[in-house]
Amino acid sequence: MNWKLKVLIQFVLAHAPKGEQLNYILQMLNSSHSPPKIAERMPILAEKLGFLSRYMHLDGAVVLEIGTGWEPINALLLHLVGAKAIYSYDHVPHVRFKLAKVTLDELERGLPLISSSTLVPQSTLTKRLARLNTATDLLSLFKLANITYVAPGDAAKSGLPDHSVDLVYSYAVLEHVPEETIHSIALESRRVLRPGGMAFHIIGPFDHYANVDKRISKVNFLQYPEWKWKLFVKNKISYHNRLRAKEFVQIFRSHGAEVRVVRDTIEPSDLEALKTMTIDARFAGMTQEELAVSGSEVLYLVS
């Protein structure tokens, strides 16, 4: 699909009655939530949890998840590896039981990988998953997994008690919210995290339209003026803030974060693309390496 056509479709959906439902139908027709698509993410997510488990104990943890998504794959994974309670927030109730069941099937296929990445015995994962498979609807599934699903909800106003959370977690979410919301999330994280609690954010600060149109680079969107990007893309269906990876870190630090790890991904092809691009003034003063980051993982501590 041409990326400009997708921009137009999402722009229309954002302003149409029942646009979220129409967007879901289009995603299903496009196989965006098919078993192979979910399976593609399994090794990525398992590796992230394995990395996180080297810095904190996930077994018995209380987790605040930002952005449940269409399939509650991260929340279910956190339960499988031992989280005691997961409070998962989303601005719209995207989750469908049908998608959750497909996710459970793919989790079962991925148990050996999850076990090897997180060092949780496969027998333990199998037992926990078998219990989840007895669910007959979304409500019973979330109850079995100790997931409190708050949608519509606001993770920046979680309502959780002070210092009651061990981990604040997000995957491919923070690039899709306004900059002021990230400030609010950082403040809320500081309030709810226990001393020594951690936040782990996996961020995709790249042009997501490159996923549907391979002719463009992951830095393609950096050339457009902010007014045009705001008009056509910053909407409730396709919002992307275009913040660069270093800006996320700066926001976290501005609210007292003690950043422990930053893992950035830069693709050589994006550095090459930047050499011939005229970059919007919004990004003036940044190096090509800072502009080219397409993936960022930030782990920080609240003292």
Model confidence at 221: pLDDT above 90: yes
Q: Is-contact 220 210, C-beta < 8 A?
A: yes
What mean pLDDT, rounded, does the chain reach? 92
Sheet holding 193-203, edge to edge: 147-150, 85-89, 62-66, 165-171, 193-203, 293-301, 258-266
The answer to whether residue 303 is domain-embedded is no
Longest dimension (CA), the chain: 56
Question: How far, in Å, CA of 25 to CA of 27, rounded?
Answer: 5
Question: How far, in Å, CA of 148 to CA of 62, rounded?
Answer: 11
pTM of the model: 0.92
Task: Give 246-289 pLDDT, tens digit per residue.
Answer: 999 999 999 999 999 999 999 999 999 999 999 999 999 999 99
3-state DSSP assignment of residue 198: strand
The answer to whether residue 159 is domain-embedded is yes
Question: How many separate domains does the chain show?
Answer: 1
Rg (CA), the chain: 19
pLDDT at 22: 65
Lowest mean pLDDT among 11-25, 27-41, 87-101, 184-198: 11-25
The answer to whether residue 105 is domain-embedded is yes
Q: Is-contact 131 26, C-beta < 8 A?
A: no
The answer to whether residue 302 is domain-embedded is no
The answer to whether residue 135 is domain-embedded is yes
The answer to whether residue 273 is domain-embedded is yes
pLDDT at 211: 84
Q: What is the CATH number of the domain that holds 277?
A: 3.40.50.150
Whose tokens are 């830095």? That residue is: 219
Question: How far, in Å, CA of 121 to CA of 102, rounded?
Answer: 23
The answer to whether residue 287 is domain-embedded is no
Containing domain of residue 250, as a range? Answer: 3-282
Task: Give 93-115 pLDDT, tens digit per residue.
Answer: 989 999 999 999 999 999 999 99
The answer to whether residue 108 is domain-embedded is yes
Lowest mean pLDDT among 22-31, 219-228, 279-288: 22-31
